[in-house]
């Protein structure tokens, strides 16, 4: 009878290296290590997004920037005597009188603005930017100067040198010279006035008046305007009515005033505003040049984003400082219509990448349970390769989405990643059922993230419930494992 061999008892170090706790610790460390390439993916997305913004800014600079349309202001110059004291060589104070010029400003009584806007995409390489053409009709009237509120003598007012000043943000966007009708007379419009800088770009027309009675007149302005990204209105009349219609299925109504009435259909929208003068920072008439009346920074003031005074960006915070005796207006004092692109691929890719570490954790947990239940050892190097493949999914998604629709790009990137990992699992385990099971798990995870991307407002509640269910399944599976024994096979 042959001698009985002693049982093959694993050594202490073999027990350590084959322990479940050590494997879990290494997997946890690997997950932390994968945070580094995930951060590099975030940097790559940010870099491509900045590149898109640079191209968009370049297109806007040549087509026309975000436009701000302002109501007109009647400006009337007057002369006054300024006295200054100068001390001569003998120490005697002499009063020097000089004639200076200043301005009387009158805001409109009411202004009605009607705009028909046609947004479109303008492409440059793989990038595209939203631009628009707008036909603007503005009509209103002035109720006249109130003589009792004037602080100057009417005899010093130079009525014949009066001017009508209105502003847009970027003169490059004008397709032709605007037409102005003052009362019943056609007037020529220019940009030659340098002493009045009320707006970012000033359009000025000479309006010869005879006396104070001529300040009670009607006007109308028509212009064809090009711009990009957003169309803004700066309402300063006692009563401003704005009507905007256009062919775009994704407008965003922001700024300081929401529409009184809006209609957004499949490919067109309409919106109206009625804005009284209670919220403006300017009086109906005043004397003295206040300088720039507003500062535009192009901030997207959507309904979910509010700024406290100490949280305002630098451009907008400085815009709220007083100019003379008035507070300079900002984006928050305007009507703003943003023409959002139908799909923002970089924004969606960023949202998907935020779930990256969660998908990696769930995938490794599923792989670990599969390894124990099916008794198929998977080396830590193979965990690393699977993790790298999952990180590469986001780079693949980013690259494809720059050329194709985001949903199509997501499906292609997910199919490629799942196919790669499934074939790898099949090669490791030599078991088709295990590979198909793991493929189903990955499809479930990527499908879950895809659904969250489509839900927007309900993504938090659905995501939380989904993760809760996944955790419950993992807890249930863990009860089927005898954690005190581990088969090295």
pLDDT digits 0-9 by tens, 139-162? 999 988 888 777 777 788 888 888
Give pLDDT, residue 410: 92
Ranked by mean pLDDT, the top range of 99-103, 302-306, 419-423, 473-477 is 419-423
Look at residues 342, 370, 390 and tell me which one is the last residue of a structural domain: 342
Give pLDDT, residue 113: 93
Q: How far apart are CA 59 and CA 122, in angstroms?
A: 8
**Which tens digit of pLDDT belongs to each residue from 416-456?**
999 999 999 888 888 888 889 889 989 998 998 888 888 87
Mean pLDDT of 332-338: 88
* Closest to 227 (Cα-Cα) out of 130, 114, 324: 130
- Per-residue buried b or exposed e for 60-84, using 16+ beta carbons within 10 Å of the residue's own CB: beebbbbbbbbbbbbbbbbeeeeee
- Residues of the chain with pLDDT > 90, as a percent, come to 14
Q: How confident is the model at residue 245 (pLDDT cuts 50, 70, 90)?
A: very high
Give pLDDT, residue 412: 94
Give pLDDT, residue 271: 92
Three-state secondary structure string covering 292-337:
CCECCCCCCCCCCCCCCHHHCCHHHHHHCCEECCEECECHHHCEEE
Residue 293 lies in a domain: yes
Give pLDDT, residue 411: 93
Q: How far apart are CA 303 and CA 252, in angstroms?
A: 9
Look at residues 342, 372, 407 and tell me which one is the last residue of a structural domain: 342
Displacement of CA 62 from its chain's centroid (Å): 21
220 and 269 housed in the same domain? yes
140 in Cβ contact with 236 (< 8 Å)? no
Task: Please count the CA atoms within 13 angstroms of the CA of 428 that sit on its side-chain side.
Answer: 25
* Closest to 476 (Cα-Cα) out of 468, 486, 466, 465: 468
320 and 460 housed in the same domain? no
Number of H helices, E strands in the chain: 9, 19
Quote the number of domains for the chain: 2
Could you give the angle at which helices 380-401 and 406-429 cross, rounded to 10 degrees?
A: 160
Residue 59 lies in a domain: no
Look at residues 279, 309, 342 and tell me which one is the last residue of a structural domain: 342
Where in the sequence is the domain holding 107, given as residue range(s)? 66-342
Q: How confident is the model at residue 38 (pLDDT cuts 50, 70, 90)?
A: confident
Q: Is the pLDDT of residue 303 over 70?
A: no
Query: Which pTM was predicted?
Result: 0.77
160 and 269 housed in the same domain? yes
Q: How far apart are CA 255 and CA 258, in angstroms?
A: 7
230 and 260 housed in the same domain? yes
């Amino acid at each position: 009878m042959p001698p009985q061999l002693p049982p093959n008892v694993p050594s202490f170090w073999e027990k350590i290296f084959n322990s479940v706790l050590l494997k879990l610790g290494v997997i946890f460390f690997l997950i932390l290590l994968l945070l580094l390439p995930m951060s590099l993916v975030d940097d790559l997305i940010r870099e491509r997004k900045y590149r898109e913004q640079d191209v968009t800014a370049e297109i806007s600079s040549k087509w026309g920037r975000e436009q701000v349309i302002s109501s007109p202001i009647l400006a009337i110059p007057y002369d006054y005597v300024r006295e200054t004291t100068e001390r001569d060589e003998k120490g005697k104070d002499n009063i020097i009188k000089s004639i200076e010029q200043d301005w009387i400003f009158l805001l409109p009584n009411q202004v009605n603005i009607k705009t028909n806007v046609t947004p479109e995409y303008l492409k440059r390489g793989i990038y595209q930017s939203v631009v628009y053409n707008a036909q603007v009709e503005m009509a209103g009237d002035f109720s006249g100067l109130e003589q009792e509120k004037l602080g100057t003598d009417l005899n010093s007012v130079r009525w014949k040198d009066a001017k009508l000043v209105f502003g847009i943000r970027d003169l490059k966007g004008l397709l032709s010279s605007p037409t102005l009708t003052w009362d019943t007379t056609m007037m020529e419009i220019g940009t030659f006035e340098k002493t009045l800088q009320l707006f970012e770009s000033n359009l000025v027309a000479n309006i010869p008046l005879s006396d104070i009675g001529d300040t009670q007149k009607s006007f109308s302005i028509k212009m064809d305007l090009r711009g990009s990204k957003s169309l803004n209105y700066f309402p300063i009349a006692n009563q401003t009515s704005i009507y905007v219609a256009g062919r775009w299925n994704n407008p965003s109504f922001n700024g300081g005033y929401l529409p009184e009435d809006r209609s957004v259909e499949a490919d067109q929208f309409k919106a109206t505003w009625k804005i009284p003068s209670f919220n403006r920072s300017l009086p109906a008439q005043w004397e003295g040049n206040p300088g720039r009346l507003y500062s535009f920074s192009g901030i997207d003031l959507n309904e979910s984003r509010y700024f406290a005074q100490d949280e305002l960006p630098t451009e907008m915070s400085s815009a709220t400082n007083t100019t003379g005796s008035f507070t300079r207006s900002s984006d928050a004092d305007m009507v703003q219509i943003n023409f959002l692109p139908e799909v923002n691929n970089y924004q969606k890719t960023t949202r998907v990448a935020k779930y990256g570490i969660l998908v990696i954790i769930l995938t490794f947990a599923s792989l670990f349970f599969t390894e124990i239940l099916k008794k198929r050892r998977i080396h830590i190097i193979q965990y690393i390769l699977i993790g790298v493949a999952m990180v590469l999914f986001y780079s693949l998604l980013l690259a494809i989405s720059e050329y194709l629709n985001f949903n199509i790009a997501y499906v292609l990137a997910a199919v490629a990643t799942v196919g790669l990992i499934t074939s790898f699992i099949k090669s490791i385990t030599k078991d088709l059922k295990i590979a198909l099971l793991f493929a189903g798990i990955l499809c479930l995870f990527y499908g879950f993230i895809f659904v969250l991307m489509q839900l927007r407002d309900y993504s938090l509640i659905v995501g939380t419930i989904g993760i809760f269910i996944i955790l419950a399944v993992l807890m249930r599976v863990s009860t089927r494992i005898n954690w005190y024994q581990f088969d090295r096979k």
